[in-house]
Structure 1
Amino acid sequence: MATTKNILAFLFALIGWAATAQTYSVNGKVVDETGAPAFGVSVYLHETLQGVSTDTNGNFAIKNVKRGRYHLHVRLVGYKTIEEDIEVGDSLLPSYRFQLVPSSLEVNEVVVESNALKLSKKESSVDLITVDEGYLQKNMGTTLMNSLDNLPGINSINMGVGVAKPVIRGMAFNRVAVADNGVKQEGQQWGADHGLEIDQFSIDQIEILKGPASLIYGSDAIGGVIHLKHPVSPLEGKHSAGLLTNYKSVNQTYGISGYAQGNHKGLVYRARVTALGYGDYKVPADSFTYNRYRLPIYNNTLKNTAGTERHVAMMLGINRNWGYSHLTVSNYHQQIGVFSGALGIPRSYQLTSDGNSRNIALPNQQINHFKVISNSNIRLGRSWLEADLGYQYNQRDENSNPHNHGVGPAVKGSLAHRLKLQTYTANLRYHATTLKRFDGVYGINTSYQQNRFEGYEFLLPNFTNFSIGGFAIEKWRVNKALVLNGGLRFDYGRVDIKRHLQPVWQNADTIIGYAQRTPNVNRNFYSWSGSVGAAYNPNKHWSFKFNFGKSFRMPTPQELSVNGVHHGSFRHEMGDSSLMPEAGYQTDLGISVEKEKFLISVTPFFNYFSNYIYLRPTAEFSTLPEGGQVYRFTQTEAIYTGGEVTIEFHPVKTLHLSVTADMVYTYNVKEELPLPFTPPPSIKPEIEWEFDNVLKRFENVFVRVGYNYTFAQNRTDRNELNTPSYSLVNMGAGFDVVYKKKKRLSVSALVQNLGDARYLNHLSRWRYLNLPEPGRNFVITVTVPVLDK
């Protein structure tokens, strides 16, 4: 207790000292591409979120700024974000002048602030992608992760329409970290049928780091990071509110989301409420295969795939010249039916329509995810201390018709599985900016997890999981063209898994013994990881990147101990308590050239892993009721290699042509076979027209057509099915209506799978039932501002 009081006293003393220090004003002017003053441009400091909007003459003045080094941001919709490193101190500050450049090219426009070193895309030694709210609205998928499928190197693992999880360069689950408000999302992400508990309408920007990110985020990020960013808190004196409505035809989705946010003298708030419901979804097929039997799909509709989602979030905080501190509380709830053909023995009444396409019957899933996250950034002299603290409680219920086998007592209720996971997280990062050409980040990550289970079936035992890691990263700006970076990290983890004994019944009242499903497991893991990288930009057109790193990943409790029927993914999964940690050596390269009207980017990668852990399909079938095929966690030497190509061309200002292509090649060195669940190569050309001055109040009018050709995946593991190639055509259009002092009503429409093609997704959990992906889908999204002052 005394130590805690001393720490609090020290922090308050720091804040009090900062409050009395001398302050300065950051002044300047922003003009558009013609040199005319730009009105309403947001200009703010990343570290403190202090900022203003430019006046009618394009001028801005951010007052009451402490001395130190800052990242200054200049943002306006439709233009590239400008980022400038500035020094505030005793010397006379210059009057800054910024000229906006229209965002004609979609790539390489935003500084990635979630990166620990605050690097721009050109300065980063690994491949970074940033997409904003406009991109997400244009590419609105059935889930947030489906909205990213058009990006090179990005895929999603799907189970129907309402469940999807991200894949980066063929890696998923506990190899890809999803960070929300700076804290890694923890919600049973190991499961193929476990979606991401995130409100897709609450996200303002997504930053994707392709390649190893374990130095910052720990061992679960050796495949990459998806950082979800919510809107920056409003500038001082600004208040706004709005509504978003969304409709999807493939499953009759109706969704609405409303928000309100503001800033009163540095006291900031944001609230959002979202609700959506959807019915059974349609597929371009009239049958599916179950255990070699061909069964009907009535009215091209998968019965019991309806669902609902509810989300509420509230953020309160304070922005001052010493930094900021925000507290966010949120709760996400989803209930979704599971197509009966995916588990158990399909019964005729479960396949025939009951007349209510929005009814959620058994089997189904109910997920609730509660989060409390604190984000703070405190100035310490010329340096900064970032602290992200989080508590998460994830409860997952899988409900199914109870089965009675053997002589045991009758099962009561329909709760098959209940997994209750609590996670405590703390991330501390100290940003040292004392030397002009050097920036250092030194940090600690720690987490503690506790999992408990209930239900009449067994899948995953009770466990606790503790991890802690420390890292140091340095960036050296050698000159204007060359940036070098390097870092080291050490991790320690401990897993304690409780043995689970299954009773053996003589009759309904007498237990004669116990069968062990999972042994006691007490394991300690530790190792180091590191990386070195370089970004060389000899001029404003060319960019070269190189990054080499050693990564490390601890086996997860699920990989060590799972042993049960995983109904949603149609299989019996078995862990191995003797698994060893993974070690990987990962190389990333990048070459790009950007001119006024075109951009070409090539990003190859090569990864070698010893003791690579993966879930392998076997030739065994489960002896458990309705168990299906057995999948075992095992280890091997493995190679992941491949790359992405992006080409963009703008022959005229209003015409955008682009082509992206990606490929992942995997190889099991010991078995001389591919690894399972490898995404097939794809190529995606797109054309987009923008129209200026169509009507007086209409702006940002566009029409686009995209084509997706995905190659056949014939490089499969033993006991894994091949998947044929397919082609899809997508179309979209949208516009903004400007009214009442620059308020914007935004409308976007999207048609996915325009030709209603029947195709199989190699990464879909339902591919083994020969269930095709959703058919033609019309998506309409309308955003209406209610208040903007």
Structure 2
Amino acid sequence: MKLIYTCMLLLAAYSSAYSQNSFSGIVKDLDTGEPIFSATVYFPQLEKGTVTEMDGSFSLSNLPEGKYKLVISTVGYASFSEEIRVPSETRSFSLKPAAVEMEEVIISTPFHQLQSDNVMKVERENMKELNKKGALNLSDGITQIAGVESVTTGVGIGKPVIRGLSSNRVLVYTQGIRLENQQYGDEHGLGISAKGIGSIEVIKGPASLLYGSDAIGGVLYLNPESYAYAGKTEAEAGADYFSNTRGYQASAMAKTSGKKLKFLTRGSYAAHSDYKTGNDIRVTNTRFSEKDLKAGIGFQESKYKGNLRYNYNQSEIGIPEEIGIQSTDKDVLLPYQKIDNHILSLDNSIYLKNSSLNLKLGYQFNNRKEFEEEHEGEEHSEEEHTGEGPALEMHLETLNYNLQYNLPKTGNFETILGLQGMEQNNSNFGEEILIPDARTSDIGVFATTHYHLENWDLQGGLRYDHRNIDSEEFGEDNQEHFIPAVNRDFNSLNGALGVKYQFDRKLITRLNLATGFRAPNLSELTSNGVHHGANRYETGNTNLKNEQNFQVDLSVEWRNKHFEASVNAFHNQVNDYIFLDPTGETIENSEVFEYTQQDARLYGGEAGVHIHPHPLDWLHLESSFEMVTGKLQNDEYLPLIPASSLTNTLRVELENKNEKITEKYGFLRLKNVFAKENISRFETTTPAYALLSVGFGSTVNLSSSKIDFSISGTNLLDKAYISHLSRLKSDNIANIGRNIKFSVSWNL
């Protein structure tokens, strides 16, 4: 830790006694030579950009000397990428008109490239676009990304599933640091508001090389909304209404940036009643509310960039158990969770002549309280619980650090060396415990390199990790619910190798081989009691070993000005896969499950087609298919594997013929989910169903502001269905029925 504190002091004391460099240019249409207004000009490595003026010109100042990749992008044109030397003379850039979707820079991979340049295929979606499609919250929104689903408990609790793996096998990153909020529980949601999230990136498959333990299934990377460009001030106020849950959400944001300093703040509040199924039944105690505050301060000059961000999220979420009272109240009933989550991150970068040093630090405090059935029948309030307190209260404190050095580029090689780690403490204050008081220490070192040729790109690396888990004894030996002390060390060496070949500008192939690992978590090692949120008695296994996996991932993409198609196949072998197995016993009226291990394999993939016929650039026909199969070594099927699905979308984006009303769009989407019959021995089959969605919206431009509005409807036919990944499925409780979402935002 002394090394980290020393680095912090060096970064804080870093002076600005370096020359101030600038870069300017003009962006034009390749065919007509006309200037392009409002194109984004961005240096990914420097995380600095601007937009072009009416005459297509732009200018960026306070840039470090060296060679950096420049990306220029805007709707209706193919994204441009080229390495630029700073300082340099004024340049002219020409963009080629294209009907394909605008490419964005991928942040979750180490070299910050456009998707078409990336060796690893990463799915990226703008959060604003996902919200337009009627998402209730963040966990609902991510299910619109191919290969991503969610294990749900009602509509207020959702956990991401990437190609059949979830919980501690999918790592979530926010504000550039790993999210730690007791993810091991099926009924423990993300605890992050969609408001203030700019975009979502999904790495499918093992990413231990970059992120260490817990990323064997993939990474969900949440990019916070960006600051305003230099010299700009922006403000936004918006509201959403959800017909099914009688829910509402309000949010307000303000941000401003000078030449060096930047400020951003956003507050939001949401409240929902119990959701209604397609059978016209409200599911008792699926109500929830959420308060969220996000703030940021940024500083940037030619050689140093600092970004301090803070997020506070408080949520109260009912835990449904059975159909009971039919109500549209928004105050939660018992049992329920009350969760406070604080995330503080500091991102520092020093830019040298042809290299850079980056240090990310994060502190998180998660306070999870659960109030249980013994209080049932009383009106809940904070005052009433003051005496007895919650049945369960856990405090989780986490310090993350990530130090990376981008070496000077040597020929066609770009190389990064890294040191990552985590210090974590779990403490109990409630009447019951799920996991004991414990300390977890992580440290990992890695190196990764990228080799670029005209048509070939290769990327590979190695990483070594060490994790120590040291827990305290709970209770008395030979007594009920006794948990012995555990002190275990886990080590793993992992690597990755990927290659991308571009046959021409139309066809790209990628092959990625990667290993990953996951150390068993506290719950798997030490559990010995009833987990009320999951309605089962869980017993841990102190002898569990690392999960270790190896995945082969092959993708092929083909595109021209009218048509895009992609196929992505994978095979994931997981050795010593940890899972809960029913013993057939009953304790305290709850079925007993014990943690055990067995080799497993998962395989499947995604395929997609996007037709945008020229000259009908406003018309888009999209189709995507996804499937995954998971089996244990004994040929039994794994639990909580999503059903295969086919999604077809008709999307219209009309040209801006009227300056007052712009960005007009509409969509019609049909998602067909196939029957799930390959199930584990303690699951039941799930019948097929189809969900119809529709939406439209536009932007109204006023003299100095604009108003965005949209209307979308999901499950428009009010289908009564049950998702295979619903935790309410065992009680035969259907998912949410028809929901109409009305959204409006005012942007200054």
**Shorter-chain TM-score tier:** over 0.9
The alignment partner of 2:115 has SS state of coil
Map 1:265-414 onto structure 2 (within 5 A). 265-285=259-279, 300-341=281-322, 351-353=324-326, 357-402=329-374, 413=388
Q: Does 1:88 align with 2:82?
A: no
> 1:4-60 deviations in whole A, cap 9, x for unaligned?
8975675467x33xx333443322211246432122333233333444432222112
Structure 1 residues 582 and 534 mapped into 2: Cα distance closer, same or farther (>3 Å)?
A: same
- Aligned match of 1:508: none
1:752 matched residue in structure 2:
714
The alpha-carbon distance between structure 1 residues 316 and 266, as it changes in their structure 2 partners (threshold 3 A), is: same
Aligned pairs (5 A) from 1:463-482:
463-477=438-452, 479-482=453-456
Residues 357-389 of structure 1: CA distance to partner in whole angstroms, max 9, x if unpaired? 223221111111011111112112311111111
The amino acid that maps onto 2:83 is D
TM-score by length of 2: 0.94
**Residue 547 (structure 1) aligns with:** 512
* C-alpha distance in structure 1 between counterparts of 2:657 and 2:537, whole Å: 58
Match of 1:688 in 2: 651
Query: Could you list the per-position Cα deviations for residues 645-697 of structure 1 after superposition, in whole angstroms to 9, with x for gaps in the alignment?
Result: 0111112211100110011011111x221111111111111111223357551
Q: Distance in 2 between matches of 1:363 and 1:5?
A: 43
8 A contact 2:125–2:145 mirrored in 1: no
Give me the whole-angstrom Cα distance separating, in 2, the residues matched to 1:710 and 1:11: 52
Give 1:332 deviation, angstroms: 0.2
Residue 284 of structure 2 aligns with an amino acid whose one-letter code is: K
Contact 2:599 2:632 in 1 (8 A): yes
User: Structure 1: how far apart are the matches of 2:274 and 2:257?
Assistant: 42
Conserved? CA contact 2:438–2:470, under 8 Å: yes
1:191-242 per-residue CA deviation (whole Å, 9 max, x = no partner) reads: 1111111110111111111112111111111111111112222221111110
* Structure 2 gaps, min length 5: 377-385
- The 8 Å contact of residues 28 and 92 in structure 2, kept in 1 or not, is answered as no
**Structure 1 residues 402, 80: closer, same or farther in 2, change over 3 A?**
farther
- Cα distance, 1:564 vs structure 2: 2.5
Question: Does the Cα contact within 8 Å between 1:47 and 1:71 map onto a contact in 2?
Answer: yes
Q: Does residue 1:31 correspond to 2:28, yes or no?
A: yes
Q: 1:200 is paired with a residue of what secondary structure? A: coil
1:421 matched to 2:421? The reply is no
Residue pairs, 1:522-561, within 5 angstroms: 522-561=487-526
Which has the higher mean CA deviation after the structures are superposed, 746-755 or 32-41? 32-41
Could you say which residue in structure 2 is the equivalent of 1:118?
112
Q: CA 1:96/1:377 → structure 2, altered by over 3 Å: closer, same or farther?
A: farther
User: Cα–Cα, structure 1 residues 6 and 526, in superposed 2: closer, same or farther, change >3 Å?
Assistant: closer
1:485 match: 459
Is the 8 Å Cα contact of residues 140 and 158 (structure 2) preserved in structure 1?
Answer: yes
Q: In the TM superposition, what is the alpha-carbon distance from 1:740 to its structure 2 partner?
A: 1.3
- In structure 1, what is the equivalent of residue 437 of structure 2? 462
In structure 2, the CA distance between the partners of 1:594 and 1:97, relative to structure 1 (3 Å rule), is: same
- The match for 2:171 among 160, 166, 177 is 177
SS at match of 2:145: coil
Per the TM alignment, residue 728 of structure 1 is displaced from its structure 2 partner at its CA by 0.9
Q: CA 1:37–1:759 in 2, change beyond 3 Å: closer, same or farther?
A: same
User: Cα distance, 1:155 vs. partner?
Assistant: 0.5
Partner in structure 2 of residue 702 of structure 1: 665
Q: Is the 8 A contact 1:122 1:537 kept in 2?
A: no
Native 8 Å contact 2:567 2:608 kept in 1 = yes
SS of the residue corresponding to residue 611 of structure 2 reads strand
Q: Give the C-alpha shift of residue 632 in structure 1.
A: 2.5
2:426 is the counterpart of 1:451: yes
Is contact 2:606-2:625 (8 Å) kept? yes
- Tell me by how many angstroms 1:585 deviates: 1.3
Correspondence list, 1:204-219, <5 A = 204-219=198-213
SS of equivalent to 1:174: helix
Relative to structure 1, the CA distance from residue 412 to residue 60 in structure 2 (aligned partners, 3 Å threshold; closer, same or farther) is closer
C-alpha distance 634-80 of structure 1, shift in aligned 2 (>3 A) = farther
Distance (whole Å) between structure 1 residues aligned to residue 275 and residue 375 of structure 2: 28
> How far, CA to CA, are the matches of 1:695 and 1:630 in structure 2?
65
Query: Counterparts of 1:658-673 in structure 2 under 5 Å?
Result: 658-669=622-633, 671-673=634-636
State, as a whole percentage, how many aligned pairs show the same letter. Answer: 30
Q: Scaled by the length of structure 1, what TM-score is found?
A: 0.89
Q: CA, structure 1 residues 576+733, in 2 after alignment: closer, same or farther (shift >3 Å)? A: same
Q: Deviation per CA, 1:381-421, whole angstroms, max 9, x where unpaired?
A: 311111111110111111112299xxxxxx97362211211
| 1:590 corresponding residue in structure 2 | 555
CA 1:81–1:277 in 2, change beyond 3 Å: closer, same or farther?
A: farther
Query: Structure 1: which 4+ aligned runs deviate by more than 4 Å?
Result: 1-13, 77-81, 693-696
SS in 2 for 1:166: strand
* Cα distance in 2 between the residues matched to 1:740 and 1:145: 37
Q: CA deviation at 1:559?
A: 1.4
Q: Which residue of 1 aligns with 2:568?
A: 603
Kept after mapping to 2: 8 A contact 1:137/1:748: no
Q: Distance in 1 between matches of 2:608 and 2:535?
A: 36
SS at match of 2:607: strand
1:729 and 2:692 aligned: yes
Aligned-partner residue type, residue 777 of structure 1:
N
Equivalent residue, structure 2, for 1:510: none
Q: Residue type of the partner of 2:739? A: N
Aligned mate of 2:407, from 423, 426, 432: 432
Offset, 1:65: 2.5
The answer to whether the 8 Å contact 1:277/1:307 transfers is yes
Contact 2:392 2:432 in 1 (8 A): yes
Q: Deviations over 1:468-495 (max 9, x none)?
A: 1010000011x21100111000000100
The code of the aligned residue for 1:620 comes to: G
RMSD: 2.3
Q: Which residue of 1 aligns with 2:579?
A: 614
Cα distance change, pair 314–159 in 1 and its aligned pair in 2 (3 A): same
Identify the range of structure 1 (61-70 vs 652-661) with the bigger mean alpha-carbon deviation.
Answer: 61-70
1:127–1:603 CA contact under 8 A, matched in 2:
no
Structure 1 residues 403 and 131 mapped into 2: Cα distance closer, same or farther (>3 Å)? closer
- Pairing partner for 2:159 from 134, 151, 165: 165
Aligned partners of 1:402 and 1:414 also within 8 Å: no
| Count of aligned positions | 736
Shift of 1:553: 1.7
Contact 1:69 1:433 in 2 (8 A): no
Deviation at 1:751, TM superposition (A): 0.6
CA offsets 1:538-574 (integer angstroms, 9 cap, x no match) = 2110001011122222111121112332223333333
Code of the aligned partner of 1:608: Q
Partner secondary structure for residue 480 of structure 2? strand
1:407 corresponds in structure 2 to none
- For 2:356, the aligned partner's letter is W
Tell me the secondary structure at the aligned position of residue 351 of structure 2. strand
The CA deviation string for residues 425-480 of structure 1, in whole angstroms up to 9 with x for no partner, is 00111111332311111111100111112333332211111111010000011x21
Structure 1 Cα separation of the partners of residues 8 and 222 of structure 2: 30
Which one-letter code corresponds to 2:446 in the other structure?
Answer: F
Corresponding position: 1:20 with 2:17: yes
Contact 1:48 1:321 in 2 (8 A): no
Residues 97-142 of structure 1 show CA distances to partners (whole Å, capped at 9, x for unaligned) of 131645x334x72220231122332233332111114422322312
Q: Do the aligned partners of 2:63 and 2:301 also contact (CA within 8 Å) in 1?
A: no
Q: Which runs of 5+ in 1 are unaligned?
A: 286-298, 405-410, 504-512
1:148 aligns with 2:155: no
Classify 1:514/1:115 alpha carbon distance in 2 versus 1 (closer, same or farther; 3 Å): same
Equivalent residue, structure 1, for 2:381 = none
Query: Mean Cα displacement is larger for which, 110-119 or 203-212?
Result: 110-119
On the 8 A contact 1:402/1:416 being kept in 2, the answer is no
**Is structure 2 residue 225 aligned with structure 1 residue 231?**
yes
Please give the alpha-carbon distance, in whole angstroms, between the structure 2 residues aligned to 1:180 and 1:779.
26
User: Any idea what SS the aligned residue of 1:149 has?
Assistant: helix
Amino acid paired to 1:352: I
